[in-house]
Chain A
Amino acid sequence: MKIEFIALTTPDLMLASLLVLALIGLGARMRLGVSRTLAIAALRTTVQLLLVGLILEAVFTQAELPWIVLIVLVMMTVAAWEILARQKRKLKGWWGFGVSAFSLFISSFFITLLALLIVIEADPWYTPQYAIPLLGMLLGNTMNGIALGMDRLVQTAWQQRSVIEQRLMLGQKDTEAIRDIARDSMRAGMIPIINAMATAGVVSLPGMMTGQILAGSPPVEAVKYQILIMFLVTAGTGFAVITVLQLITRRMFDSRERLRFDRLLREPR
């Protein structure tokens, strides 16, 4: 099968960047207050993606395990920090980072491993062309789910702390007193991926599939990969959010089933 695609030239990209520049200009004229953020974000995406492109090209030709491990570690650390940065109220100390990193690890990492070893079976199994994009897809989505679920749980528990205490006073277990809030948080974390699955192909063409088709893959082959990714992402996000909710709930109550916001939260800035 001959795969052909039209390579983009630098002038092509500059043309597209003119559109963003025009938007920045209009935003500044109308004093909408988005131009600065927009400019920084556009610059970041350009630099970050170019860098990652160069790194990936280097890694793809080398395909040595230590380098891949290093990239995986960097990706996971950044994802964990990003989750933490999205939280309005954070766990004190290293707990915030620890909980995010641990749940990313046991979901994204293991599911990627599973997919590489059992489903894709590339040779060697860690072939970076498969391993890195797969992990990236999983991390990106899992990260969102964790960030949303965690934020919802801690925020709602904080707002409803008196209700939680009232339920404890009536003799409910800690897990019972927070059950409704945990259920809400699970939903909040899962909604993006559930929406994505429900509307895939009808409302939106998923980005990865679009990319593969643009790059010349037959649509049905692209669709198979997309379904694989969707399922992996759903499982990854679900397990990650469940893990996070369990860990945080455990941290939020002490051994005597008391709400312990004092040792849990840092005041928002």
Chain B
Amino acid sequence: MLRLEDLQIPNMEPINLTIAPGECVGLSGESGSGKTRLLRAIADMDEHGGQVYEDDVAQDQVKAHEWRRRVMLLPAESLWWFDVVDQHFSAHAGHIEALGFEPDVMSWNVSRCSRGEKQRLSILRMLANCPRVLLLDEPTANLDASNTARVEDMIRHYLEKHNAIAIWVGHDAEQLKRISQHQYHLSDGRFTRVQQA
């Protein structure tokens, strides 16, 4: 379970939200509405007020890096700092083929990867750490339709298998309905539930 209690971010009303295990929450909003800042606060990457609990463990009860290992943020633009893909993985990457890669992808040079390939690899890199909560900032923004479907399937399977939680930030309302059980919207500093038609 993930629980936001009076989470305070500058220029935003305090946010209260509870997400049950295995659930995915969709979050939309115009650029600049604060979606990324919200994810960063949940991952404790920025200063903020209020409290976040993951399975009744409060954010400040554990060391920051331990928190981020449980509650992992996938930024919109993934970054790579070593030469070879494999060097960035802390554990064995599973299901390489499920995201449409050749088995030898781990030995590729990062410099030969396209933006879309890097985005899909960054999802593998995140999941290799086995986080309890996934904070996904536009995880399919650079992907074509078939790869988008692959990523959606992979995340869905991960949540089911590990009873994990995801917050999926995206612009595509159809996609958010497809992937998440509940949808929320951020605009003018207000965090509101999107009512199903």
Interface residues, chain A, CB within 8 Å of chain B? Answer: 160, 162-163, 165-174, 180, 255-258
- Give 18 A-B pairs besides A166-B79, A256-B44 with Cβ atoms closer than 8 angstroms: A160-B81, A162-B77, A162-B79, A163-B79, A165-B45, A165-B75, A166-B78, A167-B81, A168-B68, A169-B43, A169-B72, A169-B74, A170-B125, A171-B129, A171-B131, A174-B65, A180-B81, A256-B64
Q: How far is the CA of A161 from the CA of B76 in the complex (A)?
A: 16
**Could you say which of B45, B63, B65 has the most chain A C-beta atoms within 10 Å of its C-beta?**
B65
Q: How far is the CA of A165 from the CA of B36 in the complex (A)?
A: 14
Interface residues, chain B, CB within 8 Å of chain A? Answer: 43-47, 60, 63-66, 68-69, 72-75, 77-79, 81, 90, 125-126, 129, 131
**Contact call A258/B64, Cβ cutoff below 8 A:** yes
Q: Which of chain B's residues has its CB closest to A167's CB? A: B81
**Contact call B126/A170, Cβ cutoff below 8 A:** yes
Task: Select which of A160, A169, A171, A174 is within 8 A of B75 by beta carbon.
Answer: A169
Residues on B with beta carbons closer than 8 Å to the beta carbon of A169: 43, 45, 68, 72-75
Residues on B with beta carbons closer than 8 Å to the beta carbon of A168: 45, 64-65, 68
**Contact call B75/A166, Cβ cutoff below 8 A:** yes
Residues on A with beta carbons closer than 8 Å to the beta carbon of B90: 170-171
Q: Which of chain A's residues has its CB closest to B46's CB? A: A258
Residues on B with beta carbons closer than 8 Å to the beta carbon of A165: 45, 75
Minimum CB–CB distance for A180 against chain B, Å: 7
Q: Which of chain B's residues has its CB closest to A177's CB? A: B65
Minimum CB–CB distance for B58 against chain A, Å: 13
Residues on A with beta carbons closer than 8 Å to the beta carbon of B46: 258
Q: How far is the CA of A228 from the CA of B55 in the complex (A)?
A: 61
